[in-house]
Chains A and B, each alone.
Chain A
């Protein structure tokens, strides 16, 4: 008995400290979840949300109605899947390279350079891309292609280039931030490991493969799992702003978020937009559980839960 009271006394300040965070989480992340019912209702404001009629899965129909349903799902998964793989590989290599730079000044310098794009708004990025690709004034069409003797390309009306363009833009924008996350975990590795390895005569490559890599694997797994959870949510700015909302490109640039935006812009139906949100979140949730399960199979320590 006495020990319980002691424990309470000891942990009460910690519980008190927890309250604001917990309250924030409940108010911001858990209470709104009840809003999910909107997706199954025909919302009528004069009746109120709770009083509106239940309509089952009718709000979800438009997501699966046309041939586009396949295209948007495919695009969303393939793009995000590719982004996860490429960004992770790129960011880890970049972090390792950054870590090898010995001069503090240069390390800081390169670090700032790679993280800079992360801070630029997508709308501005879209105009940077436009400055490159515009058919009337673009740098590539006006300066680079003529040098190579190639005819100008109408980038904004040819869909086949866009998988590459979007991937490049995404890497350019996202890799810096991710590599800083990895760099932080590399820096926290105890230098004694490397000293010991050097004494044993391990080469740089060996050190990276046998020390750095295994030690940051938990972070990689966590970041990847988090990304997988959002695989059905795509970066709206990237897919809407960067192609300049050009309809012709939709076969390779339309993803679930842009489809929903375009479909409901005039309709303004909150039931249908919630339906899209619920669909994305449920699929994301299932994917996280599955991939976490897979990770557990391989190594229990690396799993999120």
Chain B
């Protein structure tokens, strides 16, 4: 007995020590670059030394060379701004919680990435710094790079609290399939413009390849999530039809258009064009294609989409544009950068942010890593992995659309060399929703907002996947939405939109 006890206590002590060690090393790692940075600030600039904390999200784990990137970045920023930057990647799943905690507990945080769907809320709760003056003084490069129209898209009550990253600021929708299937059955995608046009193609696949899912949908969404003709105004509770060409807020779920689409989806579900377990699917689209189980899918697209998708699913694809590019507040404010209320030095944060939109060296460091180690130049603007390094074992790769101005980033080998020119053009020619720049603030109706959100999770995906019969469930869905107070939200939205339109002269 005694022996056993001592064993257990020994193990416990070991565990304690181990966890203590872990905590130590991680805090050391976090601190070391900043201290070394602080000590070596003899570059003679007039600015006070300062350490910026920059939080952003990552998918998957933190890259193993993260610290090298931070060191390299600090070399540049000390020279330019006498500032060190502490990078704080947070995994996507924990993002919302952790950033809320950091903001609530007044932790050190300067720059933070912001998602469109939480933006209005963070502003309403007073978590973000007003940026207008800072942009006019320290952030001129940002406004210049974004263009006035898109720079204004993130305003709330006439004030800017965040700036969108520069990437694809509009979205178009279309359908794509693996090239092998298109060739095998001699399908002609180019003529597909509507869902009806899609039907014969799905039918062919269902008949010839019964083992494949003709129309794949992704996790927690339906096949038509990525096919829309409306301006959702952020949350689909009260939308503008026809891509926001008219400023009348309507209940999307009550429209004729929605009912027709649902009927189609029900037909397709019963015909087997949509998977029987579409509602509960847990694999990403690219995983389904990679496993050779999917035949086609509707998706939001942008220039360079085909190459990107082919890379992800490991097979060349053919795509067709079904709906033209449209820019709405939601497509612009998707990903933004803001300065937290906690920041002790917002001016410095803006100066660094300005570099993220104008400094090619910094952008490429954050996007691709260190030259010679994580990438090599093939030509002036095109890069590739160094010899012996592949996508799966490269020590660092960042999200291009996250770090400021993607248009200054190098083009990866295989992508169109003119990608950024095309993307710029895509952003320019996109149809602009009349409500571009309007962000709904739901705080005054948050009780209803919470209740309606619940009703939507209950019915929406199942209806849109065709798993429920719309004849029976759609009226039920609409009634529950009304009970939960969607009309109050729509009225409030219309009121805010009208006020916004009046001040912005729309």
Residue ranges of A at the interface with B (Cβ–Cβ < 8 Å): 43-47, 58, 61-62, 65-68, 130, 134-136, 154, 156-157, 244-248, 250, 254, 259, 262-270, 272
Contacts and interface: CB of A to CB of B under 8 A. Distances in A.
A267 B442 contact: yes
Contacts of A265: 453
B220 interface: yes
B121 A272 contact: no
A283 B124 CA distance: 32
24 contacts: A44-B126, A45-B125, A47-B126, A62-B447, A65-B484, A65-B485, A66-B454, A66-B455, A130-B280, A130-B282, A136-B275, A157-B279, A244-B280, A245-B220, A245-B457, A246-B279, A246-B280, A247-B462, A250-B458, A254-B458, A266-B118, A267-B442, A268-B121, A269-B121
Interface stretch (B30-38, B96-104, B387-395, B431-439): B96-104
B406 interface: no
The 6 closest A-B pairs by CB, nearest first: A46-B126, A263-B450, A244-B280, A62-B450, A247-B458, A135-B276
By secondary structure, the A interface counts as loop
B276 A46 contact: no
A254 B442 CA distance: 24
A62 B468 contact: no
A67 B448 CA distance: 13
B341 interface: yes
A248 B453 contact: no
Contact of A246 (B96, B103, B451, B462): B462
Nearest to A67: B483
B453 A262 contact: yes
A68 B467 contact: no
B246 interface: no
B446 A154 contact: no
Interface string B225-253: 00000000001000000000000000000
Contacts of B275: 136
A65 B462 CA distance: 23
Contacts of B125: 43-46
B213 to A, nearest CB: 9
Nearest to B103: A45
Given A156-B277, A248-B468, A265-B453, A270 B104 contact: yes
Contacts of A135: 276-277
B401 interface: no
A144 to B, nearest CB: 17
B451 A68 contact: yes
A266 B454 contact: no
Contacts of A262: 453-454, 457
Nearest to B115: A266
Interface string B94-131: 00100010011000000000000110010011110000
B127 A156 contact: no
A247 B460 contact: yes
Contacts of A154: 276, 467
Contacts of B341: 45-46
Nearest to A264: B450
B100 A247 contact: no
B412 interface: no
Contacts of B450: 62, 65, 263-264, 267, 269, 272
Nearest to A134: B277
Interface of B: 96, 100, 103-104, 117-118, 121, 124-127, 220, 235, 275-277, 279-280, 282, 341, 442, 446-451, 453-455, 457-462, 467-468, 480, 483-485
Contact of B446 (A46, A246, A269): A269
Nearest to A154: B276
A111 to B, nearest CB: 18
Interface centre among A154, A156, A263, A265 (most CB of B within 10 A): A263
Contacts of A247: 279, 457-462
B385 to A, nearest CB: 34
B480 A268 contact: no
B96 A66 contact: no
Contacts of A136: 275-277
Nearest to A135: B276
B462 A248 contact: yes
Given A259-B454, A264-B450, A45 B104 contact: yes
B238 to A, nearest CB: 15
Nearest to A248: B462
A270 B485 CA distance: 21
Contact of A267 (B220, B446, B461): B446
B506 to A, nearest CB: 27
A158 to B, nearest CB: 10
Given A247-B459, A262-B453, 9 more contacts: A44-B125, A45-B104, A66-B483, A130-B282, A156-B279, A248-B467, A266-B117, A267-B442, A272-B450
A114 B442 CA distance: 49
A125 to B, nearest CB: 14
Contacts of A267: 121, 442, 446, 449-450, 453
A165 to B, nearest CB: 14
Contacts of B100: 268, 270
A238 B455 CA distance: 20
A41 to B, nearest CB: 12
Interface centre among B100, B280, B447, B453 (most CB of A within 10 A): B280
A157 B276 CA distance: 10
Interface centre among B121, B282, B447, B483 (most CB of A within 10 A): B447
